[in-house]
Structure 1
Amino acid sequence: MKKIGLFYSFHSVKTKQQAQKIIAALGAENIEEVNVEEADEATFKKYSNYILAVPTWFDGELPNYWDEFLPAVEDGSLKGKTFALYGGGDQKGYAENFVDGLGIMADFIEARAGKVIGFTSTEGYEFEGSKAARGDQFVGLALDIENQAALTGERIEAWTEQLKKEFK
């Protein structure tokens, strides 16, 4: 497996905890952590394989740091690059746009010819709508620490096992 760039906000406590579980499951030797709040275009483009932490903020928005970073790579191609996405949301408090950030990011990547892997089942979640849902799957790993914290560990474990097969 090629080195994976794991992009997340080092200042987000829950996202950082999830990142540490992902690193433990995939092996630290396979991952380079990058603080997305400090990333630049050159750092972003140096990888072929990515894991992006994309929590959903407010009523289905990307976090500010992603909104500020994405224009740097907006005009470029992501062809030949593979992305796995994970992020948190609140399926009860924001049932109409649960983990929308994952869907927004997947659309951004695919519009630039990037490949998104790591789809997971929507089974076991209760929500009204999500830009991250495609049929009966999410475009990445949906985590709900507010309502299903006890399931986070097993969901990350199953997802990382899947990624070991899907990342080349």
Structure 2
Amino acid sequence: MKTIGIFFGTETGTTRLIAKKIQRKLGDEIAAKPLNVNRISVDDMLQYDALILGTPSYGVGAIPGRSAGCQEASWEEFLAKAGTPDFSGKRIAFFGLGAQERYAERFANSLFRLYEVFKGFGAEIVGNWSTEGYTFEHSASVEDGRFVGLVIDERTQGMLTNERLDAWLAEITPLLREKLGAPA
């Protein structure tokens, strides 16, 4: 498809709200309506050449899902049904939620787990993000000194969310649109 696919897993609804905010900022011509992974198949996702995937952090660095304590199906259940799809030729940017004060020792760890899975599926990953402005002890989602995607902390830094989204989208939108063959 010639739009960016936006997919998310959520537990409390915050990841869904961020996905909707991203879609509104990009606009209907550029981005498809965000979809919860507990309502789709992998074929729905594979229709897109450019994707934005979002996840909450849940459990101790686990892929969010029922075994991590989620009440509803999420990424864990989606991936269990997905098998080993081929995402080569797809370009993906990730965003993840976390609470740096409450979970400083494992801040936004689930983001890395999701990143790792899709990298293993052959996807090209874009959109890493600076750790500057965050305070935490450890995050598995830091690779080469940067987060593997945008990290949002609505609990303690909600006032920075729009600014961070705007800056991140300014970086990734041209890269995702390029994959669609659209002008940046």
| Kept after mapping to 1: 8 A contact 2:9/2:64 | no
The aligned length equals: 168
Q: Distance in 1 between matches of 2:118 and 2:101?
A: 28
Q: Which residue of 1 aligns with 2:110?
A: 101
Q: Does 1:63 align with 2:64?
A: yes
The Cα of 1:9 is off from its aligned counterpart by: 4.2
Give the conservation status (yes or no) of the 8 Å contact 1:6–1:52.
yes
**Structure 1 length-normalised TM:** 0.92
Letter in 2 for 1:19: A
Alignment match, 2:50: 49
Letter in 1 for 2:43: A
CA distance in 1, matches of 2:27, 2:63: 28
- Counterpart of 1:26? 26
TM-score w.r.t. length of structure 2: 0.85
User: In structure 2, what is the Cα distance between the partners aligned to 1:86 and 1:162?
Assistant: 13
Partner deviation per Cα, 1:73-125 (whole Å, 9 max, x = no partner)? 33222100111111110111111111111111111111121111111100111
Matches within 5 A, 1:1-168: 2-9=2-9, 12-32=12-32, 33-64=34-65, 65-167=74-176, 168=178
How far does residue 39 in structure 1 lie from its aligned partner after superposition?
0.7
Structure 1 unaligned regions, length at least 5: none
Identity percentage of aligned residues: 33
8 Å Cα contact 1:4/1:47 also seen in 2: yes
Q: Is 1:87–1:99's contact at 8 Å kept on the other side of the alignment?
A: yes
Q: What residue identity is the alignment partner of 1:69?
A: F
Cα RMSD (Å): 1.7
Partner secondary structure for residue 38 of structure 2: coil
Code of the residue aligned with 1:136 in structure 2: it is: G
